[in-house]
Structure 1
Amino acid sequence: MTSYIEPLAQESTPSIIADKLRKAIGHGEIKPGTQLGEADLARKLGVSRGPLREGMQRLTQEGLLVSIRNRGLFVIDMTPDDIRDMYLAREAIERAAAHKILQGNYEAAGTALLAIANKMLDADGDPKAIGELDIAFHELLVRLAGSPRLTRMHQTSIVETRMCIHALEETYLAADARALEHERLANAIRTGDPERTDRLLMDHMDDAIERLVNRTAEPTSR
């Protein structure tokens, strides 16, 4: 397993530190609810506490970390309300991105997205691989819009999505369920169908919310 919390091989800056921590949180190396200790992280990253604090402050501003008075700094937990709010933001960004794509070379964009959906179908039901391809599909969708601001806005929600995306793995009865959802969306974009694209994108988000919220509401002692 790749570790993101390791000594930096280049000049340390708050931006690099923030990116390392963001990836560690998104990939589950630092779990939701974990308290971050400055001394331990500074040692593992091989940096001083000054730039580390600034890097962590950036993630606090992004909403990935929360400061609790007299306790310290913690990675957020994704509550049902957080999940709904995160997908609300993602839906707004991705619908805007899809709208922009459909005003341009939508056939090429749809073909590129379909290639990822096909990789999901070829993943032999590997939940981790499908989860990563799921993220890659939506990152590409926003990048293809050609809007740097949408891409920047999307990054925080994608980290939060990555924190809980693998929780969906056991909720799909068929291994290719997610792949088929993405295939339909890619084809709608490729054919330049704005109404179908928008409907499929909203349905996809609503389905994910329902699965995640129902999962978080389940009793833990099963």
Structure 2
Amino acid sequence: MGELEPVPRKSTVEIVYDELRSAIMYGSLAPGEQLGEAELAGRLGISRGPLREAMQRLVQEGLLHSEPHRGLFVITLDQGDVEDVYLARLAIERAACTLVMDRNRGEAVARLTEALDHLVEAARQRDRVAMSDADQAFHEVLVSASGSPRLERMAQTLLVETRMCLNALQDTYPEPQELVEEHRRLVDAISDGEEERLLRLIEEHMTDSIERLRIP
């Protein structure tokens, strides 16, 4: 603590990638929207080279798709995609939970408790956007606490797609107190060292989300 460390420096491509990824996550670039190079380069104040490279990263990540002779488009998510996102998240987060229980549970509980506090505050204000942010941050911490960079990397795209689902189907989001209690039970299970209960709760959390987000 208190020691000066080098400040991370991002390339233009990384900055543009982060901007586009955030715009997709929050719906500023809507599902199905076409990305025009000239317009985006103008809005971002950059040349087309870094923009093209950043967009290709998003294609590889699965958040953009290419249509021959038409260009790049933000992906759209149907009911099958919604279910697939949450089932994939379940696989990753179950693995993360197992690793968390095998490693430093105390550190995980401390980090998750802090993330839960942010969720509690957002729920208190009944701010849906802040709740979604805090919900996502909680699950990012859960996967990060596993100590597996590969699980963490895989979770990142899925969490963006989760946010896209929630943007499109905001009315189905659980009540604030219900959301808080779902996450509090996860922290309690880790704190108590109850791996079987933790795995059951994370599975219920994901399957309940699929049901809530089910398109009529």
Residue in 1 that maps onto 2:184: 183
Q: Where does 1:163-202 land on structure 2 (aligned, <5 Å)?
A: 163-167=164-168, 169-172=170-173, 174-202=175-203
Q: Give the SS at the match of 2:102.
A: coil
Q: Where does 1:139-218 land on structure 2 (aligned, <5 Å)?
A: 139-167=140-168, 169-172=170-173, 174-212=175-213, 214=214, 217-218=215-216
- The structure richer in helix per residue is 2
> What do residues 146-195 of structure 1 show as CA deviations (whole Å, max 9, x unaligned)?
11111111111111112123455432563311111000011111111110
Shift of residue 12 of structure 1?
5.0
Q: Give the length in aligned residue pairs.
A: 206
CA distance in 2, matches of 1:12, 1:49: 14
Residue in 2 that maps onto 1:96: 95
Shift of residue 201 of structure 1?
0.3
Shift of residue 27 of structure 1?
1.8
Read off the aligned partner of 2:49 and give its amino acid letter: G
| Aligned residues of 2:115 and 2:141 also touching (Cα < 8 A) | no
Q: Where does 1:44-193 land on structure 2 (aligned, <5 Å)?
A: 44-123=43-122, 124=124, 125-167=126-168, 169-172=170-173, 174-193=175-194
Q: TM-score, normalised by structure 1?
A: 0.85
Give every structure 1 segment of 4 or more consecutive aligned residues whose post-TM-superposition deviation is greater than 6 Å.
Answer: none
Question: Would the alpha carbon gap of residues 188 and 195 (structure 1) be closer, same or farther in structure 2, given more than 3 Å must change?
Answer: same
Shift of residue 198 of structure 1?
0.4
CA distance in 2, matches of 1:108, 1:15: 30
Unaligned runs of 5+ in 2: 1-8
Shift of residue 120 of structure 1?
2.3
Unaligned runs of 5+ in 1: 1-9
CA distance in 1, matches of 2:52, 2:23: 16
Q: CA RMSD in A?
A: 1.9
Q: TM-score, normalised by structure 2?
A: 0.88
Shift of residue 90 of structure 1?
1.2
Read off the aligned partner of 1:145 and give its amino acid letter: S
Shift of residue 69 of structure 1?
2.0
Shift of residue 19 of structure 1?
1.8
CA distance in 1, matches of 2:104, 2:11: 40
Shift of residue 66 of structure 1?
0.9
Read off the aligned partner of 1:164 and give its amino acid letter: C
CA distance in 2, matches of 1:127, 1:141: 21
The percent of aligned pairs where both chains have the same amino acid is 51
Residue in 1 that maps onto 2:19: 20
